[in-house]
Structure 1
Amino acid sequence: MNFEPSAKAQDFVKRVRAFMKTEIAPIEAAYWDKIEAQCNGREWKHWRIPPEMEALKSKAREAGLWNMFLPDNKLGAGLSTMEYALVAEETGRSLMAPEVFNCNAPDTGNMEVLWKYGSDAQKKEWLEPLLAGEIRSVFCMTEPDVASSDATNMQATATLEGDEVVISGTKWWSSGIGDPRAKIAIVMARTENPDLDRHHQHTMVLVPLNTPGVTIKRMLPVFGTHDEPHGHGEVEFNNVRVPLGNVIAGLGKGFEIAQGRLGPGRIHHCMRCIGAAEESLDLMIKRGISRVAFGKPLINLGGNRERVAEARLAIDQARLLTLYAAWKLDQLGALGAMTEIAAIKVVAPNVLEQVVDMAIQMHGGAGVSRDTPLSGFYIQARSLRLADGPDEVHKGVIARIEMMKRGFK
């Protein structure tokens, strides 16, 4: 295996780093202040996107720093998973950068689904505007009334009636559904078929959010914030009818698509976590050097130097494991990298949580305010330990594979 970045990957990383330094960093704090002023305390229907975001997106697209996640030379940058992982780490240092480069979840995963599994008509209607950054999308899978750590528990239904599919049920933690630009959701629901096993009972369906019967009930706060202007919503689907042509890849293909979608997406999440951990470590050291207490720089008090060392060890280990998973995914596909993908989904958010916690402690009260990105990074880390499968599920996958290697079930 070889983790040496290609010349192409190094070029993208260099240009992304420069763009973030000159275009994003100077305005990011003011951007989030504007979000706070425009959205906080207002009903989600009145949330708005500051014009600075669209201006930055235009600049990024002109600079060729656009859709870098997609391994397609025409529609994206043509980077492999491992090559893009290095870019994702850079963007992870900022809470707004992924969106600036049109490389933000859940759009990236939804675009990959349409690119890989969508029909020509689906690509024309939804993939093209998503790739252009003109609209945003949502992924509806988790449900409030069942343990969603086991996705086969899903109760929402997608029933075939003639040339239509009828969707009924409630989803929540539908990220991005409060965004005024959100136009389309990919909904995963049960499609009963007694002749097939439990992993062929689910279907993914494209549902325009303005379809009759789609009702956004509320936005869910995460640690007291609604993550404006995107939000995480609870959505009710009441006999929602869409054409059969909105089904992705065919009835009963939901889990097959999910496996294809989640592998690269987990690499992206984990490398962004590593970037956020690096930024947190930078902030921790700068704070520790610049602040004095009891006649000494904070960095020289207690075990703070050891904490810096512990952070460096943890970040580098997480990065190497994630790059290995990315390399293996490129070589063998998602099924060939199941252990490694499950492992990084546990490791990377936990490392970020640990490092950002140390950085918050070094900052004192400022660490839990919005004066630094640390509280946002902490929310990201803690939420990711649940999103896309909780730690326990991924550990269970790893254990099962290890047992099977040794002849046990």
Structure 2
Amino acid sequence: MNKIYNPDKKDWSALLKRPTTTFDAIEGIVSEVFNEISTKGDSAVAYYTRKFDGIELESTLVSSLEFEEAENLVTEELKKAIQQAKKNIEAFHKAQITEKVKVETMPGVTCWQEKRPIQKVGLYIPGGTAPLFSTILMLAIPAKIAGCNEVVLCSPPDKQGKLNPAVLYTARQCGVEKFFKVGGIQAIAAMTFGTKSIPQVYKIFGPGNQYVTVAKQWATRYGIAIDMPAGPSELLVVADDSANAAFVASDLLSQAEHGIDSQVILVSISKTFILKVEEEILNQIVNLPRKEIAQKAIANSKLIYVEDDTTALELINEYAPEHYIVCVENEDFYIQNTMNAGSVFIGNYTPESAGDYASGTNHTLPTNGYAKQYSGVNLDSFLKSMTFQKITSEGIKNLGNTIELMAEAEGLQAHKNAVTLRLASLKK
């Protein structure tokens, strides 16, 4: 473990750097895949699925039979767990529905704002070493609540051309009908341009590896919106002697097992506590099925000691963690003053994995410091705010001269004329 004591502020940037590949090393292959799929469509998707996933498929669309077979393979216990998580996530996201905002800004001038769904959305569900069926809940549920007309889901198949049964079961429970066995860059490119098989969408959601992250950003060059640049998972825990070292270690390991490029950080004002957590990590990691992955991630992680809460908080806001656990005696200080974090977990009995699965909050969150300017996925991510206004004859009389003066000052005579003509018509 990398233990750092009282790091100088000038070294924070290097200390908190994520273990990610530079985009320059990835953009070449992303550009190639996008160019090929934009011109060759499904045949290019099939080519890159063979190249990257090692599988050739007769059809990428998941059939009704595959959905039915998957339902029979998922245990009743897991079905109940998925249903409980679905209920909680629905409850939290339905609570985010807001009413129309309407105001008469002056007599005769009424303005209002309404939210309308994004009609076509694409959801990306990572495959790789873990079948993240929970991400379907996090994306498909708010998409349905928002009222998106078309929901397209893509996820990479395994070497046998299949998807995990829990992934298929969850998708069906969430009402997803257009599910394609396509992963990685080619999935993002297919949803960007549309192919004969895979519909084009207006906005793409979902986490993924660094290739998927760059592909999503590349998609924005073609007029496609994305939720955020969501890359490898990360967790920062701030804890002191009031915390349980075993709990903290388990939380750090829960993120470390995501992938070798995950990063976990402990910040503490107690050197003794840091040593306890390090010992717990070493004890717990040996029993993990994904031990090798976790060990590589831990090698990129940090145990950081600072002398006081104020310094700790400043460092945390600089890092802007995706997941952020606050397990300290002075928790109100941290909660009230943390400005940059994706999702916050408070107290000894709030593991980050609760948010990953079933508490109700969304686990699709900004990584790599983007929590400084991005929100995690929420209901509004699937909606657009549209403004409306209606001005009566009384309203244009009250507001007209203001518009004329401002338009003339900007040298935009046609803008002024649009008002002047209306005012003149009311004098007749």
Q: TM > 0.5 between the two?
A: no
Q: Which is greater in Rg?
A: 2
Bigger fraction of residues in helix:
1
Q: Under TM normalisation by the shorter chain, which class is it?
A: under 0.3
User: Higher relative contact order at CA 8 Å, sep ≥6: structure 1 or structure 2?
Assistant: 2
